[in-house]
Amino acid sequence: MQLTRGRPLRYDAKRMAFLFTMMHGANSVDCEISSSALDDLDGTKGTLPVQREAQFMRLRQMVERVASVTFERQGQLKGEPVRIFSKHIKAF
């Protein structure tokens, strides 16, 4: 079963990742995408932290597609978020 749209949460500057949720049936799945992966999707580098939410929203459909494919390929360890890195974008 593919993941479906959840909620955007926030940019976490410590982790350098944007946090969001997806849904797997009735269950919420925590997800995150690294800053570099967002920039790879956007074809940019060095996006400022205050611009990350707008960047995520602009790329949301692509990010969610990558999250769903990543989830299907590797599953989810209990309690661990689906993490998207540049390597996932390059392989996509």
Q: Per residue in 52-73, pLDDT tens?
A: 999 999 999 999 999 999 998 8
Do the strands 82-84 and 27-34 form a parallel or antiparallel pair, or are they unpaired? parallel
Q: Looking at residues 19-43, what average pLDDT do you find?
A: 96
Return d(Cα 9, Cα 90) in angstroms, integer: 24
Cβ contact 41:62 at 8 Å: yes
The closest of 20, 24, 22, 45 to 33, measured between CA atoms, is 20
Examine the pLDDT at 76 and tell me if it is beyond 80: no
Tell me the whole-structure pTM to 2 decimals: 0.92
In this structure, which amino acid lies at residue 74? Q
